Copies of this chain bind each other. A is one copy, B any other.
Amino acid sequence: MINKNKYRFSREFEKTDKRFSIGERLVHGNEILIIAGPCSVESKEQMLETAKGVSKAGASLLRGGAFKPRTSPYSFQGLGVEGLEILQNVGKKLNMPIVTEIMNTELIELYSEKVDLIQVGARNAQNFDMLKKLGMQKKPVLLKNGLGTTVNEWLMSSEYILSNGNDNVILCYRGTRSIENATRFSMDIGAIVVAKESSRLPIAVDPSHAAGRKEFVKDFALAAIAAGADMLEIEVHNNPEKALSDKEQQLSIEEFGELMDDARVVAKAIGRKIRKG
């Protein structure tokens, strides 16, 4: 389907796995990296408490949404620049690289300076203009698939970044819209496996958005590891019932700890390891 030779994301362009480091954490090595943190940055206290919890449980990178892409304009839209600063401060304090979503090209300069891993969300997965500009800056990019995009389109979106000069791209699968309504999205193992086979880029998986319900997140995460995920991104909140967004799908710190324990055993079974911190 894809003429793989000509594309920079492909194994024909470079046979070896693409590796790079974020704050001394090697991406796409044998160690699986865990990104954890709340859906939205809500306050300094919330962020600090959550970060301490996930750090202690072994997460390597800290996530938190400052600018939030919400279906409705009347839903909480995030704390914006203030949220970004809280995230940055907490990340520094705990020595965790930070991951947060970008929603427009005007923020690229700020993000390039302050954010360690710039996330492109599902809604902007084919915002080609933003992808081009993210290709012209240096910070690594975590690129989610679109709600209704195919694997081929997702890989082609990564090409917009790669072909503009930035080779540090992580593909992050967050589930696909489907005919099923029992979960928020479908987590199609095929998408992970095909992306891994076709591409030299590291593959992350976001089981939280796929599942949409906290009681399913662990099983989704274990399946993703078994299928070959190189990273996981998990939503964790110090007090999920009080979360300002996505409250059904965020794990408590304790639940995240249990997920990490099980993830370590499954990773070991397939000859890998979960990086600690």
Query: Does A266 contact B104, Cβ atoms closer than 8 Å?
Result: no
Residues of B within 8 A of A124 (CB): 126-127
Number of copies: 4
| Chain B min CB distance to A273 (Å) | 13
Residues of B within 8 A of A187 (CB): 188-190
Query: Does B178 contact A188, Cβ atoms closer than 8 Å?
Result: yes
Query: Does B227 contact A219, Cβ atoms closer than 8 Å?
Result: yes
A26 close to B (CB within 8 Å): no
Roughly how many angstroms separate A104 CA and B161 CA in the complex, as a whole number? 16
- Known contacts A105-B106, A156-B72; decide if A190 and B177 are in contact (CB<8 Å): no
Residue among A6, A146, A182, A189 facing the most chain B CB atoms (10 A cut-off): A189
Residues of B within 8 A of A81 (CB): none
Query: Does A128 contact B69, Cβ atoms closer than 8 Å?
Result: yes
Residues of B within 8 A of A132 (CB): 73
Query: Does B189 contact A223, Cβ atoms closer than 8 Å?
Result: yes
Residues of B within 8 A of A92 (CB): none
Q: Which 7 A-B pairs have the closest CB atoms?
A: A148-B148, A183-B190, A123-B126, A269-B269, A226-B226, A104-B129, A186-B188
A58 close to B (CB within 8 Å): no
Roughly how many angstroms separate A64 CA and B255 CA in the complex, as a whole number? 43
A176 close to B (CB within 8 Å): yes
Partner-contacting stretch, out of A12-20, A29-37, A209-217: A209-217
| Chain B min CB distance to A1 (Å) | 7
Residues of B within 8 A of A211 (CB): 190, 193
Least CB separation from A146: chain B residue = B148
* A interface residues, tally (CB under 8 Å): 73
A225 close to B (CB within 8 Å): yes
Roughly how many angstroms separate A222 CA and B227 CA in the complex, as a whole number? 7
- Known contacts A123-B126, A226-B223; decide if A176 and B180 are in contact (CB<8 Å): yes
Query: Does B73 contact A163, Cβ atoms closer than 8 Å?
Result: yes
Within 8 A of B (CB), among A223-267: 223-228, 262, 265-266
Instruction: Beyond the given A70-B128, A71-B153, A176-B179, please list 4 additional residue pairs across the A-B interface where CB-CB is below 8 A.
Output: A72-B159, A105-B106, A179-B179, A226-B226
Roughly how many angstroms separate A124 CA and B194 CA in the complex, as a whole number? 26
Residues of B within 8 A of A147 (CB): 146-149
Query: Does A224 contact B222, Cβ atoms closer than 8 Å?
Result: no
Q: List 10 A-B contacts (CB under 8 A).
A: A71-B152, A103-B128, A106-B106, A146-B146, A148-B179, A183-B194, A188-B189, A193-B220, A219-B227, A266-B270
| Chain B min CB distance to A12 (Å) | 15
Q: From B126, B148, B220, B269, give the contact of A266 (CB < 8 A).
A: B269
